[in-house]
Structure 1
Amino acid sequence: MHLLCIIGPPAVGKMTVGRAVCDLTGFRLFHNHMSIEPLLGVFDFDSPSFRRINTLIRREVIAEAVRADLPGLVFSFAIDFDRTGERALLRELVAPVEAAGAPIDVVELYAPQTVRLSREGGDDRMDHKRSKRDVDWARAHVVELDTRARLTSDPAGDGDLLAGHRHLRLDNAHDDARATAERIITEIGLPRR
């Protein structure tokens, strides 16, 4: 199984690009809100209980995808490059894939805040992310997160997110998810359907 991690800040297009990659490759999509949304009715976002259960769900889905021998899994999420433990957590999540000797690639999407704010309220986000349906809150959340978290790497200083695995950075300020997916598939060499 090939694991493709798509990372980046909120509203950068992780889920949309991930879906386009899946449409072209036959991979399956596990976007970050698939584990977030069910927990929000029980736990506050980013509380210790939320983080623990969210990590458990993500780890088990990735491990089961390996056991099920899926052709590939696209896993999208945000990572704070300045938060202690984030890289170790990512290593824990991908450990089953590494143990199986399967390939792992990281694709980092970035776009200016103005572009990301304009995407809040889009149909795709509203359909798949209940917590984003309050568009004013979602936009304020993007701005607030940008003040307290570094969700985009510094290509000159962060190095590879997962040592030993490719880390591709792509500007996703445009609104053509298929073009971005095509570039990912070409540059990484993913198989097509």
Structure 2
Amino acid sequence: MSVAPVIHIGGWPGAGKKAIGRRVAECLGGRLIHNHLMLDAARALYARDTPESIAMREEVRNLILAHARRLPDDVPIVLTDALADEPAARPLFQPTLELARDRNAPLHLFVLDLSIDENQRRLSDPSRAGGTKLTDGDVLKTIRSREKLFTPAAAVVLDVTNLSADSAADKICRHLERPHA
């Protein structure tokens, strides 16, 4: 029996990582570990980016990934994250690399990109309201003007500007079905 893959989906806030990741996990019969599992837990107790929030986020991530390592080898794991291309992102991406290594699983990397106009439109979707997800288009515009997306060397960049979550997930699932060298 081969080991199921670990799939990492990165992208801008509001790009559709969670919705696409959920559909990819469903397509593969896998599990989704989206970045807000850690962020929301920490923000329930602490202000963003405080030492306490950062520590709790790391503790929750480590606990979730420890349990993910215990899943049967045939269960695919889909992770999402929104990381800037800066030195501070590398340690945040490292647990994904370690999860794939520890499971002896193939790692597939995807980065969702989209136009700023579509990104801002999606940010205002009512499903984002009421939680800790970014909904302020001006903040997004500032982020996108100052930062680049973290795009690992082996990542497939997928422009989702004109794709629904279902269409984007289908593209990812089809890509995963192809043999890779």
Letter in 2 for 1:97: A
1:151-170 matches, within 5 Å, as: 151=149, 153=151, 160=153, 166-170=154-158
Letter in 2 for 1:67: R
Are residues 1:188 and 2:156 paired? Answer: no
The structure 1 residue matched to 2:17, chosen from 11, 14, 19, is 14
Counterparts in 2 of 1:38 and 1:92: CA distance versus 1, 3 Å: closer
Match of 1:131 in 2: 132
TM-score when normalising by structure 2: 0.84
Conserved? CA contact 1:35–1:54, under 8 Å:
yes
Following superposition, the deviation at residue 55 of structure 1 comes to: 2.3
Distance of 1:41 and 1:3 partners within structure 2: 28
Distance of 2:24 and 2:100 partners within structure 1: 19
Conserved? CA contact 1:121–1:132, under 8 Å:
no
Query: Where does structure 1 differ by over 3 angstroms across 4 or more consecutive aligned residues?
Result: none
Counterparts in 2 of 1:104 and 1:23: CA distance versus 1, 3 Å: same
User: What's the C-alpha RMSD, in Å, of the aligned pairs?
Assistant: 2.2
TM-score when normalising by structure 1: 0.79
Counterparts in 2 of 1:28 and 1:118: CA distance versus 1, 3 Å: same
Counterparts in 2 of 1:139 and 1:171: CA distance versus 1, 3 Å: same
Following superposition, the deviation at residue 152 of structure 1 comes to: 5.2
Following superposition, the deviation at residue 43 of structure 1 comes to: 1.8
Conserved? CA contact 1:63–1:97, under 8 Å:
no
Match of 2:76 in 1: 72
Q: Provide Cα deviations, 1:93-133, integer angstroms capped at 9, x if missing partner.
A: 4313302211211110000111110012314323xx60248
Match of 1:56 in 2: 59
Are residues 1:103 and 2:131 paired? Answer: no
Letter in 2 for 1:50: S
Q: How many equivalent pairs are there? A: 174
Distance of 2:163 and 2:105 partners within structure 1: 31
Letter in 1 for 2:138: A
Distance of 1:124 and 1:100 partners within structure 2: 34
Following superposition, the deviation at residue 174 of structure 1 comes to: 1.7
